[in-house]
A and B are shown apart, each in its own frame.
Chain A
Amino acid sequence: MQYLSGIDDHRTSTGLDNRKMLMWAFLGSDVMFFGTLIGTHLIYRNRNLSGPQEEILSIPITTISTFVLLMSSLAMVLALAGIQRGNMGQFRFWTAIVCIFGSIFIGFQMFEFTEFAAHYGLTPRTNLFGSTFLVMTGFHGTHVAVGILWLWSILFASYKGKIHQGNSLQVEIAGLYWHFVDIVWIVIFGVVYLIGAYGAEGRALEDAHHAARAVGIG
């Protein structure tokens, strides 16, 4: 019954739990943080004087990593459903899956960054695309890494009896963070990868067409 008083302590005059309110307020501020990074990337798009840009993005690989992150969100919500029903086995299984899928996503990102550096020489210093793209996706990856550490710690705490059905709100709050990381990637995948790379392909075709016309074969 000790944790019962703990729960009541977190109720506010609004009738809402202050921990959950804090998390939503934090996510609201983080939205603006990522909005700045994505907006900056878009505004500086196609303004590179040299070096590679969006044509180097691999859509098939990123689609797979996006799918992995989406499925980790599904696993997260199944873990929450498990602990809310008092099914600790289900909670632990799905939380471990979230951590594994999150790690796979980080692996994809590391592969992508390494490929860009090795094959195209792209670093944050190369050009505007390198600076804005790597900072934006790097910060997202950092958020994913923090989420993985948070969820592992919750998983271990559950084995020590510190996380249980009575305080499942802690899992719900960690879940909110994890889903947020997912929705940020949904935006980045759509706006930066798909639209960006499609525009780059279109420009390449147009440039080839213009070049062909210039030499009289178009």
Chain B
Amino acid sequence: MATEHVHVEEHNHPGPRQYVIIGAILAVITLIEFGVFYLSIDPALMTWIILVLSSSKFLLVVGYFMHLKFDDVRFSGLFFAPFLIMVSIAVVLMALFFNLTR
């Protein structure tokens, strides 16, 4: 029955094959970030590209490796509520005191 409980928990989780695919995607995105860094482009554009790529990696790890995509939605609430507060405060502070592209 203990094993049953464990199986219910992992029922919706991806398998090792999917994990390896996600890992490969993460590695490719990191390589793209590295390549983008050496392009001579506008710093504002570069900033947005890196933010999008980093966010993709963040969401892949949180969603698949940490299983938030498959687990109870209340776990997502426990994590993303403070995360959104933190991001909001950081954005406001940066808007007041700082320019990210310079």
Which A residues contact B (CB, under 8 angstroms)?
Answer: 1, 3-4, 7, 14-16, 20-21, 24-25, 27-29, 31-32, 35-36, 38-39, 42-43, 45-46, 59-60, 63, 66-67, 70-71, 73-74, 76-78, 81, 84, 86, 165-166, 168-169, 172, 175-176, 179-180, 182-183, 186-187, 189-191, 194-195, 197-199, 202-203
In contact, A16 and B72 (Cβ under 8 angstroms): yes
Bound-state CA distance A32–B1 (Å) is 38
Q: Which residues of chain B in 40-90 are interfacial with respect to chain A, using CB atoms and an 8 Å cutoff? A: 43, 46-47, 50-51, 53-54, 57-58, 61-62, 64-66, 72, 74-75, 78-79, 81-83, 85-87, 89-90
Of listed A1, A46, A198, residue having the most chain B CB within 10 A: A198
Q: How large is the interface on B (under 10, 10 to 19, 20 to 34, 35 or more residues)?
A: 35 or more
Listed by A's residue number, 11 A-B pairs whose Cβ atoms lie within 8 Å are A4-B1, A25-B78, A32-B82, A39-B86, A42-B90, A43-B94, A66-B30, A78-B16, A172-B9, A182-B65, A187-B54
In contact, A4 and B9 (Cβ under 8 angstroms): no
In contact, B82 and A29 (Cβ under 8 angstroms): yes
- Residues on the A chain within 8 Å of B36, using CB: 194
Of listed B9, B37, B46, B64, residue having the most chain A CB within 10 A: B37
In contact, B22 and A28 (Cβ under 8 angstroms): no
- Residues on the B chain within 8 Å of A165, using CB: 3, 6
Select one of B19, B30, B102 contacting A70, CB under 8 A: B30
Of listed A60, A66, A175, A190, residue having the most chain B CB within 10 A: A190
In contact, A190 and B61 (Cβ under 8 angstroms): no
In contact, A77 and B65 (Cβ under 8 angstroms): yes
A-B pairs with beta carbons under 8 A, tally: 162
Bound-state CA distance A68–B91 (Å) is 30
Nearest CB on B from A94, distance (A)? 10
In contact, B22 and A3 (Cβ under 8 angstroms): no
Contact of A198 with B37 at beta-carbon distance under 8 Å, contacts A78-B19, A166-B3 already known: yes
In contact, A197 and B37 (Cβ under 8 angstroms): yes
11 extra interface residue pairs, beta carbon distance < 8 Å, beyond A29-B82, A84-B9, A175-B66: A16-B74, A21-B74, A27-B78, A73-B23, A74-B26, A77-B65, A81-B16, A81-B19, A169-B9, A195-B51, A203-B102
Nearest CB on B from A153, distance (A)? 21
Bound-state CA distance A31–B72 (Å) is 20
Contact of A35 with B22 at beta-carbon distance under 8 Å, contacts A63-B34, A190-B51 already known: no
In contact, B54 and A35 (Cβ under 8 angstroms): no
In contact, A186 and B58 (Cβ under 8 angstroms): yes
Contact of A21 with B78 at beta-carbon distance under 8 Å, contacts A187-B58, A199-B101 already known: yes
Nearest CB on B from A6, distance (A)? 9
